[in-house]
Structure 1
Amino acid sequence: MRFTKMQGCGNDYVYVNCFEESVSSPEQLARSVSDRHFGIGSDGLVLICPSEVADCKMRMFNPDGSESEMCGNAIRCVAKYVYDRDIIHKQKIAVDTLAGIKLIAVNTDENDIARTLTVDMGAPITTAAEIPVIAVSSPVKDLRLEAFGREFTATCVSMGNPHAVIFIDEDVSSFDVEGFGRVFEQDERFPRKANIEFVNVLSPTHLKMRVWERGTGETLACGTGTCATAAAACLNGISPYEPVMVDLLGGQLTIEWKKTDGHIYMTGPAEFTFDGEYYNG
């Protein structure tokens, strides 16, 4: 099976061009290729497929084999892949996902190579039942999460997948993301589990975030989590409705929640790492 390794802000996936390749069991394949010792090594598997309703379709699988609705870093890589390899050479590309059709603007250099991509991530979901999270009222800005004798307050947002954003005062660089993230991900109030973001506010337009992703663990970046973080900052009056820079372990993304259409726009890089062939069995 031919594959391509790509990364966006260090969030790395194995990409398979299903315009040419066939994958019969993506759940098992995701578990195999994601292993960093016995496989290729990645944060998961992404299939780039034909679509009857958009330019192409993205299916994204976590290292545990579960399928996720959406991945902001992966969708930028998908758009770069189909643009640079002339599968869909358009300045605006529509990608079908389990979270709906997303539109991506391709920002090219002088050689017509996609360098950064701007994704219309749609409107953030703040209604508890739709996130989903079990809570009394919406928006959910005061969900109490407890572990190891400590209590935190989370703001819950969905960007097609559920997130719980926690603003903390202590330096997130040394915070126990794995310990608290592993517990909070599986809190009984998250029917589909949740991605957990831990955030420092450096200024109203500059945030610093680390993320624990459900089914994966801590990653260097999470596109939907970055969008959820910016939305949570706006909901809590921390950030204005203008571009906000978010520092991640793997790089930086720029997020803007536009009042004109209520959508969140994410701009960031996508890069090829290498191509290869995978022998499964």
Structure 2
Amino acid sequence: MNIELVKCHGSGNDFFIIDEINHDYQFTEEQRVELSRAICNRDSELGSDGILFVLKSEVADGMMRMFNPDGSEASMCGNGLRCVARYVCELLDKEAAIIETMKANLKVNKEGDIFPKIPTYKVEISPVSFQLSDLPLQLDQPALLNEKIPQLTEEVDFFALAVPNPHLVAIVEKEQVESNLQKTISEYVNGPNELFPDGVNVSFVKPLKTNAIYVRTFERGVGFTNACGTAMSASSLVTCLAGINENGQEIQVYNNGGKVNCVVHEQDSSYSIDLIGNATYEYKVDLQIEWGAINEFTCSNKIEFTEEKRQYEKLQSHAIEFISEWL
């Protein structure tokens, strides 16, 4: 079987797009899991943080399904959604579109470049819930807003929220960013534990300057990642709740993969977040697989998007310099 892949990334969070709008691949659910485990494997010829399956939708311009390297399916992926937004908008020759995801139909649109010559898209991150049952987080209380979880640590306070992926967010100091605390907590809550039966994304957030923050995320099913779109969105919202930033104002969010901008919106006690950042193509390639021996896949006809990669490297350099100056 031959499958066309597009390697892309949002903030260094990299994926393969598989187009099921123009191709009748007819994958079973088991085959989606097999594909994810095989081609996301960093020890293989390919490797990525996930697969973005782009499908037809009866209620939107396209549908996104995102699978992690371990074969699990994520309910949302903000960095991946930007890549899908670009793919669908270019496919349909549109500036704006609606993308169906597991929990919501979300607005996306092309934006002015976040950095010179970098394709930039704005995507809606919603719904937002603070109900612990929506993560789920098993504590004897309805919500957790800037409070300690004694079972984890007495050193930091946490916010718990679903956007709709589950997130545990702490606003920290430089010393905590540089310590092993986040790794220890993240590995515990994503293994067998009494708090998070389905695991959780864990982010440490360090305010840098006015309207600028640094976010590092341990992503469930992945581990430490260059960036996580829903985590950057959740972290931006948390800084507004903590009075560090304000709703309606653009927040620059720096991460190990680069930067994005976020804007938090509140209406009738409900929140949504605009996530604005790059959607960069790295290469196209044809994948040849046999389902009985999927790990023995081969690749051919690789086409590099060299200029796009070079431009994003400039943004990364800028982000690294900014983080080094302010962290």
| Shared fold, TM over 0.5 | yes
Question: Quick one: structure 1 residues 227 and 180, their matched pair in 2 at CA, closer, same or farther if it must change by over 3 Å?
Answer: same
State the match for 1:78 in structure 2. 84
AA matched with 1:175: S
Provide, for residues 23-59 of structure 1, a one-character-per-residue CA deviation record: whole Å limited to 9, x for no partner: 3310111000011122411001110011111111001
State the match for 2:279 in structure 1. 270
**TM superposition shift of 1:236:** 2.1
Question: Is 1:210 matched with 2:219?
Answer: no
d(CA) in 1 for partners of 2:148, 2:195: 9
**TM superposition shift of 1:171:** 4.4
d(CA) in 1 for partners of 2:205, 2:69: 25
Question: SS of the counterpart of 1:277?
Answer: strand
Provide, for residues 250-272 of structure 1, a one-character-per-residue CA deviation record: whole Å limited to 9, x for no partner: 01111111235732111111100
d(CA) in 2 for partners of 1:146, 1:62: 28
Gaps of 5+ in 1: none
AA matched with 1:92: A
Note the 1:7-22 alignment, pairs <5 A.
7-19=9-21, 20-22=23-25
Aligned partner (choices 95, 98, 108) of residue 94 of structure 1: 98
**TM superposition shift of 1:175:** 3.4
Question: Quick one: structure 1 residues 102 and 145, their matched pair in 2 at CA, closer, same or farther if it must change by over 3 Å?
Answer: farther
Question: Quick one: structure 1 residues 27 and 170, their matched pair in 2 at CA, closer, same or farther if it must change by over 3 Å?
Answer: same
Aligned partner (choices 144, 158, 165) of residue 162 of structure 2: 158
Question: SS of the counterpart of 1:221?
Answer: coil
d(CA) in 1 for partners of 2:194, 2:163: 20
Gaps of 5+ in 2: 294-327
**TM superposition shift of 1:173:** 5.5
d(CA) in 2 for partners of 1:121, 1:229: 12
- Normalising by structure 2, report the TM-score: 0.78
Q: Which stretch shows the higher mean deviation, 15-24 or 223-232?
A: 15-24
Aligned partner (choices 256, 266, 286) of residue 259 of structure 1: 266
Question: Quick one: structure 1 residues 17 and 114, their matched pair in 2 at CA, closer, same or farther if it must change by over 3 Å?
Answer: farther
Note the 1:1-281 alignment, pairs <5 A.
1-19=3-21, 20-22=23-25, 23-24=27-28, 25-84=31-90, 87-107=91-111, 115-135=119-139, 136-144=141-149, 146=151, 151-171=155-175, 174-176=178-180, 177-186=182-191, 187-241=193-247, 242-260=249-267, 262-280=271-289, 281=293
Whose helix proportion is higher, 1 or 2?
2
d(CA) in 2 for partners of 1:185, 1:198: 16
Question: Quick one: structure 1 residues 150 and 260, their matched pair in 2 at CA, closer, same or farther if it must change by over 3 Å?
Answer: closer
Provide, for residues 108-138 of structure 1, a one-character-per-residue CA deviation record: whole Å limited to 9, x for no partner: 67xxx98111112124211222232223132
**TM superposition shift of 1:145:** 5.4
d(CA) in 1 for partners of 2:230, 2:150: 21
- Normalising by structure 1, report the TM-score: 0.90
Question: SS of the counterpart of 1:78?
Answer: helix
Q: Which stretch shows the higher mean deviation, 62-71 or 131-140?
A: 131-140
d(CA) in 2 for partners of 1:249, 1:55: 32
**TM superposition shift of 1:146:** 4.8
Question: SS of the counterpart of 2:65?
Answer: strand
RMSD between superposed Cα atoms in Å? 2.1
Provide, for residues 188-228 of structure 1, a one-character-per-residue CA deviation record: whole Å limited to 9, x for no partner: 22232100001111134111011000011111010000011
User: Which has the larger Rg?
Assistant: 2
Q: Is the 8 A contact 1:80 1:114 kept in 2?
A: no
Percent identity between matched residues is: 28
**TM superposition shift of 1:277:** 1.4
